[in-house]
């Protein structure tokens, strides 16, 4: 019998899919399954909290970037572009060329 064709990540069997397929046949099995569900619920809650915190951090950074862009645009519009100053001790119009020999 050929193996089924995998179409996406959802086709991959995981521990979660195995856990969903098993049925508690005893009181101990039911308690074990409840414990596993509680653990998964706790982990997902923590992941959601981290996601919310990350979202807040990203939104804060986007606001900081927007403020910085406004400040820089104001400076760019207000200040005229000046030519670069020559280095100290340079003679205007004289170009110094250095050559190196090895």
Tell me the pLDDT band of 25, cut-offs 50, 70 and 90: confident
Domain ranges, ordered by start, for the chain: 15-78
pLDDT tens column, 69-89 = 999 999 888 877 666 676 777
Measured distance CA(54)–CA(41) in Å, rounded: 20
User: Rounded to the nearest 10 degrees, how much is the dihedral formed by the CA atoms of 75, 77, 83, 85?
Assistant: -10
pLDDT tens column, 37-74 = 999 999 999 999 999 999 999 999 999 999 999 999 99
Please state, as a whole number, how many other Cβ atoms lie within 10 Å of the Cβ of residue 12.
8
Residue indicated by tokens 């009181």:
27
């Amino acid at each position: 019998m050929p193996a089924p064709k995998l179409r996406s990540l959802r086709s991959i069997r995981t521990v979660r899919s195995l856990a969903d397929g098993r049925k508690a046949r005893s009181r101990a099995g039911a308690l074990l399954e409840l414990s596993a569900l509680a653990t998964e619920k706790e982990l997902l809650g923590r992941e959601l909290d981290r996601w919310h915190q990350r979202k807040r951090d990203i939104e804060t950074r986007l606001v900081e970037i927007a403020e910085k862009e406004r400040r820089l645009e104001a400076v760019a519009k207000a200040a005229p572009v000046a030519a670069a100053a020559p280095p100290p001790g340079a003679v205007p119009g004289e170009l110094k060329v250095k050559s190196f020999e090895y």
